[in-house]
């Protein structure tokens, strides 16, 4: 199947309470009411959520009981969520099969992730799930930001640094979604991302930038250096403002997703192919190396014991004679009576109990 036909997978990631689940619900509603309707295929990966405003196609809660996991493994809430996700990940091949079966008829696959961001972004399961999805479908990260909470420059920056780390970890197309614009428009954020100096001014006006001796505070110099790092990062991403409450901005979001699909095909896919080819080449080289080592070992043995080596030769004529005499190959029929040296399958129960005399 050509990737042009494949659905795009949107993975919603964001800090706790940023509005991931509401965003997924609104995206679902938006796609249902578009013309023609394009209902997405939705996966909920949050085992701890009690109420969802949308109907997921696959729900982690059907597979693992998070409360039971906490009890059984004696874990706290976050350990419980992480373990539940780990258990679910062991079955993820089945999930992918289900998604792939539906791939012809859907345009979008949407994934809602657990509340605590690090459970998904800094766990082996999160990485396995992301890589598995991204190697089979065009995939994009929707990084949900709680805009009203990001008006403080320091909070904005730490949120963006987190986004930056996810971008460099996954290397997937990335859309920063400034959510809750009904409460706080996101124009300030766009301005900070576009103009580094405006952000620095905001930083300076939000806190004291010098200590009692007039030297820049540690925090201030750190933030200034960090914002320089971020300046480079901003060039690699798309950003949109949405309100998951009102539905505002969702058409812009879908446009950004379409552009991300192209980016996936242009940048991620060739990189994936390159990494795969490299892995194949390394494996091939390892195989050749070990074969060469084995042949070298054999050569050493032969020189150290030439008499034995002389006997240990393959004589094609002998083999042919045997075949001529014996006719057919010696096929073992395992259903016949046992004979000395017969292969015994220890994983199978014995057909009958041994008959030797037992001590009384
Ligand atoms: N005003 C407003 N509130 C929103 C918006 N999106 C989400 N919320 C509210 O933000 C709160 C958190 O939303 P959720 O969708 O549960 O956020 P989440 O990221 O899934 O939360 P966890 O999974 O628990 O981390 C809820 O009270 C939502 O009603 C929005 O666009 N505007
Ligand atoms: Mg949620």
pLDDT tens, residue by residue, 144-176 = 999 999 999 889 988 999 999 999 999 999 999
Average pLDDT of 134-148? 96
- Residue 228 is predicted with a pLDDT of 81
- CB of 183 closer than 6 A to ligand 1? yes
Residue 215 DSSP SS3: coil
Strand partners, 145: 178
CA of 18 to the centre of ligand 1 (A): 6
Model pLDDT, residue 235: 84
Torsion of CA 239, 241, 243, 247, to 10 degrees: -80
Identify the residue whose C-alpha is closest to ligand 1 atom 10.
19
CB of 16 within 6 A of ligand 1: the answer is yes
Long-range Cβ pairs for the range 230-234 (8 Å, 24+): 230/157, 230/160, 230/161, 230/164, 231/196, 233/160, 233/163, 233/164, 233/167, 234/193, 234/194
Q: How many CB atoms lie within 10 A of CB 217?
A: 14
- The reply to whether ligand 1 has any atom less than 6 angstroms from the CB of 180 is yes
pLDDT tens-place string over residues 69-94: 999 999 999 999 999 999 999 999 99
Between CA 171 and CA 223, with CA 115 as vertex, the angle to 5 degrees is 60
Q: Is 182 in the pocket of ligand 1 (CB under 6 A)?
A: yes
Tell me what pLDDT residue 208 has: 59
Contacting residues for 208 by C-beta, under 8 A, at least 6 apart: 217
Nearest ligand to the C-alpha atom of residue 242: 1
More confident residue, 64 or 324: 64
Q: Is 275 in the pocket of ligand 1 (CB under 6 A)?
A: no
Q: Strand, helix or coil at 44?
A: strand
* Strand, helix or coil for residue 95: helix
pLDDT exceeds cutoff 50 at 12: yes
Query: Distance, CA 224 to ligand 2 centroid (Å)?
Result: 33
Distance (Å) from CA 83 to ligand 2 centroid: 17
Q: For residue 53, give the nearest of 45, 62, 61, 44 by alpha carbon.
A: 44
User: Which residue has the CA at smallest separation from atom 2 of ligand 1?
Assistant: 180
More confident residue, 257 or 323: 257
Q: Which atom of ligand 1 is nearest to the CA of 179?
A: 31
244 lines ligand 1 (CB under 6 A): yes
pLDDT digits (tens, 9 = 90+) for 237-248: 899 999 999 999
Residue among 282, 23, 69 nearest 274 (CA): 282
């Amino acid at each position: 199947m050509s990737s042009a036909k494949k659905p795009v997978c949107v993975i919603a990631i964001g800090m706790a309470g940023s509005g991931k689940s509401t965003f997924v619900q609104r995206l679902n509603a938006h796609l249902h009411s578009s013309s023609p309707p394009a209902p997405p295929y939705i996966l909920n990966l949050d085992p701890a959520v009690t109420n969802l405003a949308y109907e997921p196609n696959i729900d982690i809660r059907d597979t693992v009981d998070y409360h039971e996991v906490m009890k059984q493994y004696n874990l706290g809430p976050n350990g419980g969520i992480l373990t539940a996700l780990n258990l679910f990940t062991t079955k993820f091949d089945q999930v992918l099969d289900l998604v792939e079966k539906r791939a012809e008829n859907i345009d979008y696959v949407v994934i809602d992730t657990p509340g605590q961001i690090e459970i998904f972004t800094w766990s082996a399961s999160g990485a396995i799930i992301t890589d598995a999805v991204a190697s089979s479908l065009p995939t994009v990260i929707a990084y949900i930001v709680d805009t009203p909470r990001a008006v403080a420059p320091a909070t904005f920056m730490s949120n963006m640094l987190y986004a930056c780390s996810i971008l460099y970890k996954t290397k997937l197309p990335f859309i920063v979604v400034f959510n809750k614009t009904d409460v706080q428009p996101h124009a300030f954020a766009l301005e900070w991302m576009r103009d580094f100096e405006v952000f620095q001014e905001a930083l300076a006006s939000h806190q004291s930038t010098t200590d009692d001796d007039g030297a820049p505070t540690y925090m201030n110099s750190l933030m200034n250096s960090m914002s320089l790092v971020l300046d480079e990062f901003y060039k690699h991403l798309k950003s949109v403002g949405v309100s998951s409450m009102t539905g505002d901005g969702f058409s812009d979001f879908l446009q950004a997703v379409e552009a991300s699909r192209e980016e996936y095909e242009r940048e991620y896919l060739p990189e994936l192919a390159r990494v795969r080819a490299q892995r194949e080449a390394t494996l091939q080289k390892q195989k050749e190396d070990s074969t060469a080592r084995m042949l070298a070992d054999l050569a050493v043995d032969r020189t150290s014991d030439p008499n034995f080596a002389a006997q240990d030769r393959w004589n094609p004529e002998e083999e042919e004679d045997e075949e001529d005499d014996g006719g057919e190959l010696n096929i073992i029929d395992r259903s016949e009576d046992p004979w000395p040296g017969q292969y015994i399958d220890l994983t199978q129960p014995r057909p009958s109990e041994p008959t030797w005399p037992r001590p009384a």
